[in-house]
């Protein structure tokens, strides 16, 4: 148990160092915007609101699941919650696995509802924990601790396989997700943690009733690198450090499924600017999510840090929309992007 707590603490410390970012790109740099020299838009009228799961948020950014489950995590979750409440943004708490095993850790999660009585908050559990069933009591513990609006299931086989103490059996995760969708009283979202979701995997998840997919592709935080640093294997050439499908490739594959069915598509993994956000929306995402820049800004400057980051991104997105001749994010589409030629 103490191991999980220490691991979660190490993760925060390691992910804020640049050495744990992917060497391969998320793919957004392969595009530039189709600049509109005659935008016919007033920047003051530009709206950044975006809709996910029927909720309207102030901006198309989900604060990705990160922390909870060790003593210092409570204050970090409190800052994220306060920030999201003030800015009308959705967020997810980190994996609640430790809390299921040790109830004294519940406070590090439940603090978020105290700080954010109205915000959209997602619970979080690993797909591996769903193998062989996940009781209704456990679902209730997860959701009631934060009065969750949704449950996020994270898929992280790469990360588990890099952890000496990690899980090795991934048989039964899809069945577990299917059962969770049936038993949960809130929508189920599924995300990767940085290695990406392919079209093949997306189809299987949508077929069992998952409502929203967060691709969490390669190009941002590399969990292979994080785990290899954590276990003192600091070899930067570790053969799995760059394993994963780049975020843009995930979007290109999965967005084609939107022609046949309706579901939410979140782009994450290497979202590092408003430019990345706008490009992701042009490539078919309905929403985006980000983790590392958020935890970094909080560790450097607390609530002010995350607010400053968001204000910059919001300001930039309004300028981008104006320069593309759009007055709202829903107008963004593939015609606003040009692919660079080699």
Ligand X SMILES: Cc1cc2nc3c(=O)[nH]c(=O)nc-3n(C[C@H](O)[C@H](O)[C@H](O)COP(=O)(O)O)c2cc1C
Residues of this chain that bind ligand X (CB under 6 A):
11-12, 15, 64-67, 94-95, 124, 154, 191, 193-194, 216, 220-221, 268-271, 290-292, 295
Minimum distance from CB of 191 to ligand X (Å)? Answer: 6
Q: How many CA atoms lie within 13 A of 151 on its CB side?
A: 30
**Nearest to ligand X of 41, 116 (CB atom):** 116
Q: What is the spatial distance between Cα 323 and Cα 34, in angstroms, rounded to a whole number?
A: 9
- Strands (E) across the chain are located at 31-33, 50-52, 55-57, 61-63, 91-92, 121-126, 150-154, 188-191, 212-214, 264-267, 287-290, 337-339
Minimum distance from CB of 244 to ligand X (Å)? Answer: 10
**Nearest to ligand X of 90, 323 (CB atom):** 90
Q: What is the spatial distance between Cα 210 and Cα 177, in angstroms, rounded to a whole number?
A: 8
**Nearest to ligand X of 250, 337 (CB atom):** 250
Minimum distance from CB of 257 to ligand X (Å)? Answer: 20
**Nearest to ligand X of 87, 247 (CB atom):** 247
Q: Which residues pair with 124 in a beta bridge?
A: 152
**Nearest to ligand X of 280, 295 (CB atom):** 295
> How open is the CA angle 188-194-195, to the nearest 5 degrees?
100
With 0-12 / 13-18 / 19 or more C-beta atoms within 10 angstroms meaning exposed / middle / buried, residue 167 is middle
Minimum distance from CB of 86 to ligand X (Å)? Answer: 21
Minimum distance from CB of 98 to ligand X (Å)? Answer: 10
Q: What is the spatial distance between Cα 82 and Cα 146, in angstroms, rounded to a whole number?
A: 14
Q: Which residues pair with 265 in a beta bridge?
A: 213
Minimum distance from CB of 290 to ligand X (Å)? Answer: 4
**Nearest to ligand X of 45, 72 (CB atom):** 72
Minimum distance from CB of 13 to ligand X (Å)? Answer: 8
**Nearest to ligand X of 221, 322 (CB atom):** 221
**Nearest to ligand X of 113, 230 (CB atom):** 230
The count of other CB atoms within 10 Å of the CB of residue 114 is: 12
The count of other CB atoms within 10 Å of the CB of residue 32 is: 12
Q: What is the spatial distance between Cα 332 and Cα 342, in angstroms, rounded to a whole number?
A: 25
**Nearest to ligand X of 313, 326 (CB atom):** 313
Answer yes or no: are the C-beta atoms of 272 and 220 closer than 8 Å.
yes
* Closest chain position to ligand X (CB): 220
Q: What is the spatial distance between Cα 251 and Cα 63, in angstroms, rounded to a whole number?
A: 19
Bridge-based pairing state of the strands 188-191 and 61-63:
unpaired
Minimum distance from CB of 325 to ligand X (Å)? Answer: 29
Answer yes or no: are the C-beta atoms of 31 and 59 closer than 8 Å.
no
Minimum distance from CB of 64 to ligand X (Å)? Answer: 3
């Amino acid at each position: 148990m103490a191991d999980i707590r220490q691991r979660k603490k190490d993760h925060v410390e390691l992910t804020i160092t640049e050495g744990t970012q992917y060497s391969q790109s998320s793919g957004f740099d392969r595009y530039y915007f189709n600049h509109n020299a005659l935008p016919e838009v007033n920047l003051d009228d530009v709206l950044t609101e975006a809709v996910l799961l029927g909720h309207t948020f102030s901006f198309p950014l989900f604060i990705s699941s990160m922390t909870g489950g060790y003593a210092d995590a409570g204050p970090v979750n409190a800052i994220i919650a306060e920030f999201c409440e003030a800015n009308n943004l959705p967020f997810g708490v980190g994996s609640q696995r430790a809390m299921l095993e040790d109830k004294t850790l519940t406070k590090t999660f439940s603090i978020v509802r105290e700080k954010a009585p109205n915000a959209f908050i997602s619970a979080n559990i690993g797909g591996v924990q769903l193998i062989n069933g996940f009781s209704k009591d456990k679902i209730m513990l997860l959701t009631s601790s934060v009065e969750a609006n949704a449950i996020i299931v994270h898929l992280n086989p790469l990360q588990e396989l890099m952890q000496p103490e990690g899980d090795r059996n991934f048989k039964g995760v899809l069945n577990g997700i299917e059962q969770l969708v049936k038993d949960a009283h809130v929508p189920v979202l599924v995300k990767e943690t940085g290695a990406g979701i392919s079209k093949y995997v997306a189809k299987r998840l949508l077929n069992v009733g998952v409502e929203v997919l967060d691709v969490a592709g390669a190009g941002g935080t590399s969990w292979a690198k994080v785990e290899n640093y954590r276990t003192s294997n600091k070899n930067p050439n570790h053969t799995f450090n760059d394993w994963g499908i780049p975020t843009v490739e995930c979007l290109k594959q999965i967005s084609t499924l939107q022609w046949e069915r309706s579901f939410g598509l979140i782009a994450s993994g290497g979202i590092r600017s408003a430019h990345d956000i706008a490009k992701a929306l042009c490539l078919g995402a309905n929403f985006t999510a980000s983790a590392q820049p958020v935890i970094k800004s909080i560790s450097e400057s607390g609530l002010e840090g995350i607010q400053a980051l968001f204000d910059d991104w919001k300001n930039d997105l309004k300028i981008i929309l104006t320069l593309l001749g759009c007055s709202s994010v829903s107008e963004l589409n593939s015609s606003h992007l040009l692919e660079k030629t080699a």
